[in-house]
Amino acid sequence: MKKISLLLFSLLFVVATNFAQERRRGETKKTETQQGHTDQNKFRQMKDVLATPNDQHTASGAPGSQYSQQKVDYIMDIRLEESTNKIYGNETITYHNNSKDQLDYLWVQLDQNMRADDSQTPLAKSDRASEFITPSNFQSTYMKEGKGFGFNIEEVKSNGKPLSHFINKTMMRINLPQPLASGETFEFSIKWNYKINDINKDGGRSGLETFPDGNNNYTIAQFFPRLAVYNNVEGWQNMQFWGRSEFALEFGDYTVNLTVPEDHIVDATGVLQNEKDVLTKTQRKRWEQARKSFDKPVIIVTQEEAEKAEKGRATKTKTWTFKANKVRDFAFATSRKYIWDAMATNVNGKTVMAVSLYPKEGNPLWEEHSTRAVAHTLIEYSKLTFDYPYPKAISVHSERQGMEYPMICFNFGRPNPDGTYSDRTKKGMLGVIIHEVGHNFFPMIVNSDERQWTWMDEGLNSFVEILAELTYDPELFATNPAKDITRYMGGDQSNISPIMSQGDYVKQFGPNAYSKPAAGLYMLRKTIMGPELFDHAFRTYSKRWMFKHPTPADFFRSMEDASGMDLDWFWRGWFYTTDVTDIAIKEVKPLYLTDKPSERISEIIKSNPRAKTYFEGLGDLVYITDKKEDANSKAMDKYVDGKEVPSYIYSVEFEKPGGLVMPLIVELTYADGTTERQTFPAQIWMKDDNTARRVFASTQEITKITVDPDFETADVDTSNNNWPKKESNKFDNFKKEAKN
C-alpha cells in the first residue's frame, strides 16, 4: 500500500494562507509605520503582578531559608460579671522579636472599639433617608445614645511602671522604652474591661444572646487586646478594623483563667487544666466515656440537667483554666443553659475530641447532627490538607452567629419552637458548622492575612467545605459551584470587584470572597487540573504554610510548583479581573471527501513552484472540500484496506465573546443518539483569543454539538452553546412566561 497523507481542511487552509501571505509581502510596499503594542496575551506570565521572590517567600511558593515570624504569649485572668454583662481582664503579654529587624514600637488590636461610642465605622457608611421607618429604628438611627461599648484600658505597664501608649481607634501603639532588637523579648501587661454587646440587638461577631427566661448565652471573642502581625510583607499589619475584614494574628502559647458563675458550663480554645475543680464526678465520668466513643456522641450534660440549671442563679463563681499552645487567638463560650456532648474522632490514628454546646432551643437538630458534623469536618479536611493538629474542635450554638476561632466556633441553625425543622434549616446549620470548623485549617493554622486578602481564608475554606458537605449528605448538598456563580459574574460590572481586592471595599462581599474563589478552585480540581494533580498541589501548599503566614503569591506559586502546570492564565483572569466565561459555537460547516483538489489549491500549485514541489513530495493525496457537488465518499477506500472511513466531516469555529480563557468542552451527539465528549485545554486560545477551530470526523452524521454540556466552566450565556442553535433557553422561556 502506498503511503497516504489525509490533509484536512484546516491544514490546507494554513498552507494556502502561508503561500498567499508570502506572495503579498513580495508585492506590497509599506506605506506607513505600524504601531507597536505590549503583550496582552491571556497566557503571559504573572511576573509583572506577583511580588518578587526572596529568601523568605521563595519562587516555588514555599517558605524560604530565612523565613521568620513573631511569637506572642499570653497569660490572662478573665472575669465575667453576669449582673452587668461586663468582662474584666488582666493580661501579661510576652512578645518575641524573631525578625531580623529592630522594633521601636508594637501595635495592639482593640477590636471592641469598632462599636465604641466614638467609632467612625458608622460614619464611613453612605446613607440615605427611607420613605418609612419604625419608631424604634427611628430612635436608634436619629436619636442615638451612647451605649458604652468599646475597651476601657485601665492601665498598660511594664516592670510595674506605666508604659507609654497611644490609642488610634481600633489600634493601640505601645511605645517601647528602648528599641527591641532581633532575638529579644518584651513583657508588658494590660488591664481592661468592656461591656458585652447583645448580638441580636447590637450586632457583632461575638457577644451575648438573651433568652426570655433572663439567661444569657455568652460567645466571647475579640475580647482582649491582641498583638498585630509584623512581617517582611506588610511590616505592621495595623489597618483599622471597620467591622468586615477579619484578623491578622501571631501564633503563641496561652494560659487563660476564666472566672464565671458557678453554675455555668464553659469551653474554650485549649485544654482544660482543672477538670476536678469545675466538673462533677458524673460529668467527668461521661467525659471519659466520650473519649472512647468513636461512633456516636456521649451526652455529658443532658437537656434535663441543663433545664434544671437554667432555673437558678448562682452567686458564687468558678475558675476554669485552659492552656493552648501554638494558636493565633483565643475564644470561649459560657452559659448555664448548655447541653454538652462529645465524641472521639480518629484522624489518621490520632484521637481528637469533637464537642458541641447548645441550649435546649437547639434541639433536636443539634443533638442529632452538630458533633457528628464536627467530626466529619475534621476527617474530610485532613484528607485534603494535613492531619488536624489540635486536641479538640467545638461547635457552640447561637441564634445568629457564624464565626470561627482556634478549636471553637459559634454557629446558627435553630429549629422551630416545637422542635420541627425544614431541610433548609438543617442544611444551613450543617453548612455553617462545617464551614466554621473548617476555618481551623484556614486561617487558624494556614494563617493568611484576613485583613488584606479575605478570599485566602474564606474562599479556600468554602471550597473544601463543598467537598466535605457532599460526603456528609450528597442529596442535601448537591451543587454545581461553577454554574451557581454565573449569575453573579454575569451581573452589573459596576457592582463587581476582582477577587484580589482588599476586603473593606469589596462589592458583593459574599460572592467575591466566598463563592467565586471556591467555584474557581472547584473548576481547577474537576475540569482543569484533575483531582490527582490538584489534591497533591493543594496539600503541598497547606502543609508548607502550616502555622505560618502565606501570601496570595505563595498559594499561586505552590499550586503550579507542585502540579507542573502553568496556571498564570487562570490566576490572572479569575482572580485579578471581573472577566466572564462565554464560549460560543460560531459556525459549523460540513466538509466532504474528494479525489480532486479545489480551484484554490490548484491555483496555488500552478502559480507557486515551491507549493508545487511541496505537494508533489507528499505522495498520494485525498482532499476535503466544502462543496457537496464535488464529494466522493469513496476517495479513501483504496487506501484503508476495508476499514470504515469517516464520511462525515465538520469544520467547527468557536468564538469567545467572554474575556476569560477556559478549556473548550465539546459534546458531539450522533444520529444513533450516542454521544462523545472531547475536551481541549485552555491553551487552544493561546494564539488567538477570539477564535478556535476544530475539525471533527465521524462515520455517522453528527446531529448536535454542545459546548460545556455540564456547566463546568462558569459560562454566563449558554444560549450560544449549541448547534443547531436552540430557539431559546430555559431562562428565556421563564422570562416570557413571567412577562405573560
DSSP code string of 634-655: TTTGGGTTTPPP--EEEEEEEE
Of residues 652, 644, 597, the one with CA closest to residue 625: 597
- Residue range 538-592, pLDDT digits in tens: 999 999 999 999 999 999 999 999 999 999 999 999 999 999 999 999 999 999 9
Angle at 12 between CA 11 and CA 14, to 5 degrees: 65
Quote the cell numbers at residue 118: 466614638
Q: Which residues contact 536 (CB under 8 A, 6 or more apart)?
A: 562, 563
285-310 average pLDDT score: 98
CB atoms within 10 A of CB 191: 15
Quote the cell numbers at residue 150: 468599646
Dihedral pair phi/psi, residue 670, rounded to 5°: -95, 170
Of residues 682, 732, 693, the one with CA closest to residue 529: 682
Question: What pLDDT is recorded for position 10?
Answer: 42
Q: Under a CB-based contact definition with an 8 Å cutoff, are residues 336 and 310 in contact?
A: yes
pLDDT-based confidence at 126, cuts 50/70/90? confident
- Residue range 58-109, pLDDT digits in tens: 999 999 999 999 999 999 999 999 999 999 999 999 999 999 999 999 999 9
Q: What is the DSSP letter of 492?
A: -
Does a structural domain hold residue 344? Answer: no
**In whole angstroms, what is the distance from residue 441 CA to residue 542 CA?**
8
Length of the chain: 740
Quote the cell numbers at residue 586: 460560531
Identify the three-state secondary structure at position 174: strand
Q: Under a CB-based contact definition with an 8 Å cutoff, are residues 712 and 665 in contact?
A: yes
Does a structural domain hold residue 666? Answer: yes
- Residue range 485-521, pLDDT digits in tens: 999 999 999 999 999 999 999 999 999 999 999 999 9
Specify which residues 189 forms β-bridges with: 92, 157
- Residue range 390-422, pLDDT digits in tens: 999 999 999 999 999 999 999 999 999 999 999
Q: Under a CB-based contact definition with an 8 Å cutoff, are residues 174 and 156 in contact?
A: yes
Question: What pLDDT is recorded for position 31?
Answer: 52
346-354 average pLDDT score: 97
Encode 335-354: b = buried (16+ Cβ within 10 Å), e = exposed: bbbbbbbbbbbebeeeebbb
**In whole angstroms, what is the distance from residue 257 CA to residue 37 CA?**
65
User: Does position 162 have pLDDT exceeding 50, yes or no?
Assistant: yes
DSSP assignments along 383-433, one per residue: HHS----SSEEEEEE-TT-EEEETTEEEE-----TTS---HHHHHHHHHHH
Q: Under a CB-based contact definition with an 8 Å cutoff, are residues 146 and 118 in contact?
A: no
Question: What pLDDT is recorded for position 117?
Answer: 84
Does a structural domain hold residue 661? Answer: yes
Of residues 484, 482, 499, the one with CA closest to residue 574: 499
Q: Under a CB-based contact definition with an 8 Å cutoff, are residues 513 and 567 in contact?
A: no
Does a structural domain hold residue 488? Answer: no
**In whole angstroms, what is the distance from residue 191 CA to residue 91 CA?**
6
Question: What pLDDT is recorded for position 434?
Answer: 98
118-138 average pLDDT score: 81
pLDDT-based confidence at 19, cuts 50/70/90? very low
Q: Under a CB-based contact definition with an 8 Å cutoff, are residues 42 and 661 in contact?
A: yes
The one-letter code for the residue type at 458 is E
Q: Largest alpha-carbon pair distance within the chain?
A: 107
Q: Which residues contact 478 (CB under 8 A, 6 or more apart)?
A: 470
Element (H, E) at 693: strand 691-698
Q: Under a CB-based contact definition with an 8 Å cutoff, are residues 319 and 257 in contact?
A: yes
Q: Round to the nearest angstrom and report the end-to-end CA distance of the chain.
A: 67
Q: Under a CB-based contact definition with an 8 Å cutoff, are residues 382 and 421 in contact?
A: no
Does a structural domain hold residue 121? Answer: no
DSSP assignments along 336-394, one per residue: SS-EEEEEEEEETTEEEEEEEEE-GGGTTHHHHHHHHHHHHHHHHHHHHS----SSEEE
Does a structural domain hold residue 689? Answer: yes
- Residue range 703-727, pLDDT digits in tens: 999 999 999 999 999 999 999 987 5
User: Does position 16 have pLDDT exceeding 60, yes or no?
Assistant: no
Q: Under a CB-based contact definition with an 8 Å cutoff, are residues 345 and 351 in contact?
A: yes
Q: Which residues contact 437 (CB under 8 A, 6 or more apart)?
A: 373, 374, 377, 378, 393, 395, 404, 409
DSSP assignments along 555-594, one per residue: HHHHHHHHHT---HHHIIIIIH----B--EEEEEEEEEEE
Q: Under a CB-based contact definition with an 8 Å cutoff, are residues 247 and 451 in contact?
A: yes
pLDDT-based confidence at 731, cuts 50/70/90? very low
Question: What pLDDT is recorded for position 641?
Answer: 81
Of residues 237, 251, 234, the one with CA closest to residue 57: 234
pLDDT-based confidence at 638, cuts 50/70/90? confident
Number of domains forming the structure of the chain: 1
Question: What pLDDT is recorded for position 32?
Answer: 63
- Residue range 429-481, pLDDT digits in tens: 999 999 999 999 999 999 999 999 999 999 999 999 999 999 999 999 999 99
DSSP assignments along 206-223, one per residue: SEEEE-TTS-EEEEE-S-
Of residues 699, 696, 697, 594, the one with CA closest to residue 636: 594
Does a structural domain hold residue 490? Answer: no
Of residues 427, 425, 436, 713, the one with CA closest to residue 583: 713
pTM as predicted: 0.92
**Percentage of the chain with pLDDT > 70?**
94
Residue that the C-alpha cell 437537656 belongs to = 303
**In whole angstroms, what is the distance from residue 72 CA to residue 424 CA?**
42
User: Does position 111 have pLDDT exceeding 60, yes or no?
Assistant: yes
Q: Under a CB-based contact definition with an 8 Å cutoff, are residues 569 and 661 in contact?
A: yes
Question: What pLDDT is recorded for position 136?
Answer: 79
Integer angstrom CA distances of residue 368 from 296, 342, 394: 10, 12, 15
Q: Which residues contact 491 (CB under 8 A, 6 or more apart)?
A: none
Q: Per DSSP, which regions of 17-170 are E strands?
A: 71-81, 86-96, 103-109, 152-158, 161-162, 165-168
The average confidence (pLDDT) of the chain is 92
**In whole angstroms, what is the distance from residue 265 CA to residue 358 CA?**
10
CA dihedral 697, 702, 704, 707 (to 10 degrees): -10
Does a structural domain hold residue 560? Answer: no
Integer angstrom CA distances of residue 593 from 2, 100, 491: 19, 73, 46
pLDDT-based confidence at 740, cuts 50/70/90? very low
243-267 average pLDDT score: 96
Residue 651, domain extent: 4-20+581-739
Sheet bearing 584-594, strands edge to edge? 4-6, 620-625, 584-594, 648-655, 691-698
Dihedral pair phi/psi, residue 152, rounded to 5°: -105, 105
Element (H, E) at 266: strand 265-268
User: Does position 246 have pLDDT exceeding 50, yes or no?
Assistant: yes
Question: What pLDDT is recorded for position 520?
Answer: 98
User: Does position 14 have pLDDT exceeding 80, yes or no?
Assistant: no
